[in-house]
Structures are given as structure tokens and as C-alpha cells.
Amino acid sequence: MAESDKQAERAQKAAKPQKAQKTNAKAGANKAKAKQEEEALLRADTFTNAPKVSRRTLTKEEREAIAKQREAETREAEKIASASSKGRLGRWWARLQSGPDKVTWGMAIVALGVVYGDIGTSPLYTAQTFLAGQGGFGNVDREAVLGMLSLVFWSITLITTVKYVLIAMRIDNNGEGGIFALYSLIRKYGAWLAIPAMLGGAAFLADSVLTPAVSISSAVEGLQTLPPLEQLFDENPSLTLMITVVIIVILFSVQSRGTESIGKVFGSMVLVWFSFLAVVGVVNLNNDWSVFAALNPVYGVKFLFSPHNAAGIALMGTVFLSTTGAEALYSDMGHVGRGNIYFTWPFIKIALVLNYFGQGAWMLNNARNPQFNTMKSLNPFFQMMTPNVRYLAVILSVTAGVIASQALITGAFTMVSEATRLNWMPHLQVRYPARTRGQLYIPVVNGVLCVSTLAVLAIFKDSEHISAAYGLALTITMITTTVLLGVYLWYDRKRVGAIVFTVLFLAIQIMFFIASMAKFLHGGWFTCLLTIAILFVMYTWNEGTKLERAQRRHMRPKDFLPALDKLHGDFRIPYFADNIVYLTSDSETKRLDTDIFFSIFADHPKRARAWWAVSVETTDEPFTREYSVENFGTNYIFRVRFRLGFKVSQSIPAYIHQIMHDLSKTGELPKQKSIYPRVDADPDIGTVRYVLVHKALMPESKVSARGALSLQAKYAIRHVAGSPVKWFGLAPYNPLIEVQPLFVSTRRPPRLKRTDGTKTVPAPTPTRSVADPAAVPDPMDTTAGLSRLVQELDAAMSAEEKK
């Protein structure tokens, strides 16, 4: 037995190394298998499309653009330094080029193309409308011609030159002009100032729809005056309308290229156009230089109240056509710079005056020509030229009509951008195709203007009927601008000047308005309807925003950190996502919006490894890419603020992943290494879920009927304008859009009464009994903080209702 035991023991000892070898071999095989699986997963990760950023902070194109800009600035500085050493005149030029009134040849050409298009087309139809109002060319005598010329000259001088060029353009908001920029400067002086600002802005945008229609159609109709084409247009009455539609569609299609590139091409054409206007005017002035007697304002006033004036006070509505474009000039100041407008305006005005007076000289010279007395729709602009010159005039006038439309379109972009900053319109997607922030393009506005302009053409058919609606809205804009300018001058300690300015220009422009109201039944109703529609959008958006802000609350770290810390460590609740990213408009990084807090704890709590609250700030520099982070002393709640240049696309997912990697490297964010590959996911970062919080009005909300209407209209407008999902580049990432009640505080409906025969349970009454221990709130619970917020909201809403 002893021998056998020894043999068994020896066999056991011999088997142990073999068993160990088998175990080691098996462990090695398992390790190799695990390694192969890991390598397979890593290979699968290479097929994912995780959002990534470049190692560089600027693209090659951006570096080239900055280098060119710096080179241009260096050359400009050298020129200024060289000029300042050349005496008093050189020092004056150096000071001019160093300030906001600097002049450059390139931008002066752009100014011609962007700013003066609408003013430049007025000679096409002003005299024609005047003759129609007087009953035809046969009813016009010397008194009438001189009276019309006098009123036109002094209207251009007082309204365009004095009011807008010399006064309004000196009042800018960081280089931006227009009625909204002006309102931004003076809104602190009274809430009532929002009324004229909204009304004027709405009227300007309404006029932006009519300008392309009337300018281009009136120019295209000049083709009918060419002898070879007369029969073609007689046989095809709708041909003019078809050509106009094609031109308008092409015009709106090229807006995305930016007004700088368009302006350079258009500027050269406008230079030719105004030179052509001046030359044609001088040629016809050789027939009768005595028309310059109309520079005396007495002729205009005398004819306005003369019994020979067949149009009566409505004559001022015709005269007003010569000033259209003045408001666009002010609105487009931010596009081209004030100095370039100052530099080019004298040339523009001289060309206009020479052409108007040339048309007057032609009318006096042909007053007794029977050929023109019976002509239908006689237009002195085309008739004062020889047939050969008329071909060139038609081509140039069509081009000028396109450019006139461009002036109003760019002005509309600026106005909408300013309205957005004032929270009077939804935050639309804005593109900056040029190197300066003033050059902007808003796709939604461009599309709406295009469709609206085509609708105007479909309704009114030709320029004669469109002109009946044209100009009425612009008189409203000019009146409201005068009121706001008067308020600015008053608070700028120029009291006497403010009174004189306001009284003088209100008197003139109210006369224009009364005269334009004669057009109401003949088409002006459409302009008024369009103005009211735009005003409704502004008013309801503003009122809705006020109501939303009245209920918005923010939480300090001491209020939200305990609840979030408890949820973060509560392993009974599964993760909703590794990272939950909320997008907010609040740029303050030391607090948290209650909308985010309620979203985290609504229904089933959204537990995460990290919560992120992200806001985006657009800077005035084109290529800024910066961010800042506040973590509140934790590794699970991060408040991120992006600072992106106005030309930088808002690729939020890619930038969020970069920040997560940066914080992971510094240890501020715990490692989130993923085990399995995920499409559109980063293998080194856990799952990311984006959440946007929208508001909805509840039936029981404590809000007035007017407030409810404003909010419902605002949400409808937002739905049409587009979702923020696209603005932030989140479309492919399936963001969660949550809807929260707008007001936490609601009306309590009366108690129900039970009617099935069972004894009704009385309503509970407060007692002093000891509370159930289970009902005592946990110090870490969120209900205490929520109840306090609800009480604050109730108090705020009660105060709002008392007001």
C-alpha cells in the first residue's frame, strides 16, 4: 500500500506541470481570442463617422484671406503715413482715412451698385407719371413743367441730401444704418418708440417687395418703344411680363454670392448709367436752358396750389417717386461705409438733376408738337432720345432696374438682421459670403421676397398698375424715421435743431403721405395689407418673447448641484446617455437654465455620465473659434460657451467632441472608452444625445387672451421659419426635441362633485398633525427647489397681471 501511494503521489506531481501547461495554454488562447475581438472592434471603429475637427484653427482659405487683409491694411497704413507728411491737406486726408468716413475706390464702386439703384431708376417713370396725372402731354404748359421740376429738385435736396445724407447718416449704430439700428440707439428713452420703429420697418420691407416689380417691369416695357419690336409685343401682350419674371428669378438666384461681388459688377454699370443720364440730359438742355429757373422753389409752391394743376395735392405723390431709394441708402450704409456714400452722392445728384431738367427742356421744346399730344403713355425719358440712342437706353434701363431691386434686397437683409437682434423676428440662418459682416445673405428672406415679388407681378401685370401701390409704404417709413431722428437729436442736446428738423420734415412727408393715399383704391391697399402682415409678425414675436422671458428662471450652483450629484450617483437608474448636450440661448456660464433642470428630472430622470449646457455667441470677427468651460467643481456638469466668427459654420457636434477630448486629456472629464463601435460615434467618447427644449402654451396657463394669441402666432412663425436643428448642424444626429409648458403656474379648475350616490369626500383641510415621516422631503430631493421656483413664478406672474 505504501509503495502504491508513493507511485500515485509521484504520478500526481508529474501531472501538475502538464496541467499548468494546459491552463497556461488555455489562458493564452483566451487572451489571443480577446485580442482578436478587440482588434476587430477597433477595425469596426474605423468605419464609423465620428465628427472630427482639424488640428488647425484656420483653413487654408481663411489664412489666405487674413493674409490678404493684413497686406491691404499694411498698404493702407503706409499710404496714410505718406499722406500725413504732405502738409495740411495730407493730414486731413490721413485723418479721414483713419476714421469711419474713409473712402476707397473699390468700395465706392460697390456703393454705386448697392446703394443707388432705386434712386437711379426714378427718371424712368417720374415724368411719365406726372404727364398721366395732368391728363396727357397736351395739357402741360411751361408753368406745369417748371413747377414739377422745382418740386422734384427741392424734394431730392431736402429729403435725400439734407435728411438722409447729411443728418441721418451721421447717426449710426456701430456702422449700421436703417430704422432698426436707429431705434437701438434710442429705445432707452421710451417703450413707445418701438411703435414707430416696427411700423417703419414693416413698411420698408413691404416696399422691398414692390421695388423689384416696378423697377424691372418699367424698364422692360421700354422694349415696346423700339420700332422693330413693336409688332412682336402687340402680338404677345404677356411677353413683357414673362421677360420680367425671368430677370427677377435670376436676380434672386445670385444673391447667395454676396453683395460685394454683385456690387462690383453692378457698380460699374451704375457708373455708366448715371453718366448716360447726365449726358442725355445735357444734350436736351441745349434746346432750352431756361428750365433752370425751376431752381427757385416759388415755381413749385405756386404750381402745387394752382388751379391749372389737374392732379391737385396728388401731385406730391408723383414728386415723391423722385426720392424713392433714400431710405435704402440709409439702410445700406453698413454694407459700403458712410464715407463712400459721401464721396459718390454729389455725382449721383448732379446726374439726376441734369436728366430731370433735360426731360423738362424736351417737354417745353415739343409742347406744340401734335405727334405727342395723342400718344398713349408717353414717356419723356425714352422720347427725348434719337431711335439709335434709345436701344442703348433700353438696355441700360433694364440693367438699372435690376440694380434698383438689388438696393432694396440688400436693404431688406439688413433690416431683418437688425429686427432679429431686437427679437422682433425669428432667428433665421444668416450667411456672410463676403469678408465684412455688413455683407450678409438670409436664404429665407430671399425666398420670401422672390415669391412675393412674383405674386405682385401676377396680380398687377404691368408697371402702370404696380406704380399705383408703389411709394405709399415708403412714405410711412420716412415719417417714422423722422420721428426717431427727432428723438435722437432731442436727447443729444440739440433741442432747437430737433424741433426744426421734426416739424419741417414731418410737414413735407405727411403731405407726401396724403398725396400717396390717393393711390389706395388703385393698388395702395396691397402695400398696406403687406405692411400690416409684416407688422403682425414683428409685434407677435416681440410680445411672445416678452412673455417667455417673464417666466424664465435660472438656478445657481447651490440650487442645482445637490440634485444633480444625487442623480449622477444613483446606480438604480440606467444611463439615458453617456453625455446629454442641451443647447441654450443663455450666454451666462455661472448658472443653469431651469428648462434644462426640469428636462433632466421630467418623467424618468435623464441620468448621464456628464451633462452639458452649450451656448453660441457670434463675434464681429470673421474667423474666431474659441470656447470656455465652467465645471462648477465637478466632473459631470459642464457649461460651455462657444465664440464663433460670423463666417464660421456652427458645426456644434464636431466642436463638442473636440472639447470632450480636451477635457478628457486634462482629467476634467472621466474616461468614457467605448466597448462597441457605434455609427456616427467617437470610440474614445461615450454616447452623445442632443436635446432642444421648445415651449408650448398650456390651456390652463395664466396668460391674457392677447398674450396667448402672440405666443401661438410666434410658435406658428417659428415652425415656418425652420428648426434650430439645422442652425446648429445637428440634423444627422437625431436630436431629441422636448416640449415643456410655457408657464409652470396655472389656474386651478374647480373641484369635481361626485353624483353616483356615494357619499362625497370633503375637501381636505389643513391640520397641525404631525407629518408622515415618509412624506418629509429629503434634503437632497429636488421638490423643495421646484416649489420655491413655482412660488417665485406665481409672484412674478401676479405682478405682471397687476401691471
Instruction: Tell me the pLDDT tens digit for each residue of 57-109.
Output: 666 666 776 777 677 667 666 666 666 666 677 666 666 666 667 777 777 88
Check residue 773 and give its pLDDT. 37
Contact assessment for residue 484 and residue 182, using Cβ atoms and an 8 Å cutoff: yes
Contact assessment for residue 505 and residue 483, using Cβ atoms and an 8 Å cutoff: no
- Residue 235 three-state SS: helix
Check residue 210 and give its pLDDT. 81
pLDDT (average), residues 398-419: 78
Please give the torsion angle defined by the CA atoms of residues 399, 273, 343 and 503, in that order, rounded to the nearest 10 degrees.
Answer: -80
Q: Would you give the DSSP letter of residue 320?
A: H
38-47, 154-163, 502-511, 595-604: range with lowest mean pLDDT: 38-47
Residue 768 predicted with pLDDT over 60:
no
Specify burial of residue 192 (Cβ count, 10 A radius: 0-12, 13-18, 19+).
exposed
Per-domain residue ranges of the chain: 104-206+259-386+459-545, 554-741
Q: How confident is the model at residue 769 (pLDDT cuts 50, 70, 90)?
A: very low
- Residue 582 three-state SS: strand
Specify burial of residue 312 (Cβ count, 10 A radius: 0-12, 13-18, 19+).
middle
CA–CA–CA angle 374, 377, 380 (5° rounding): 95
What is the distance between the alpha carbons of residues 119 and 341, in angstroms, rounded to a whole number?
Answer: 13
Q: How confident is the model at residue 435 (pLDDT cuts 50, 70, 90)?
A: low
What is the distance between the alpha carbons of residues 273 and 279, in angstroms, rounded to a whole number?
Answer: 10
Q: How confident is the model at residue 456 (pLDDT cuts 50, 70, 90)?
A: confident
Any residues with CB less than 8 A from the CB of 189 and at least 6 apart, and which? 487, 491
Any residues with CB less than 8 A from the CB of 514 and at least 6 apart, and which? 313, 316
pLDDT in tens, 689-739: 888 887 777 766 667 777 778 888 887 877 777 666 666 666 666 788 887
Check residue 306 and give its pLDDT. 87
3-state helix, strand and coil shares in percent for the chain, rounded to the nearest 5: 65, 10, 25
- Sequential DSSP letters for 364-422: HHTTT-HHHHT-TT--HHHHTS-HHHHHHHHHHHHHHHHHHHHHHHHHHHHHHHHHHHT
Average of per-residue pLDDT values in the chain: 78
pLDDT in tens, 667-691: 899 888 766 655 556 667 888 888 8
Parallel, antiparallel or unpaired: strands 575-583 and 607-619: parallel
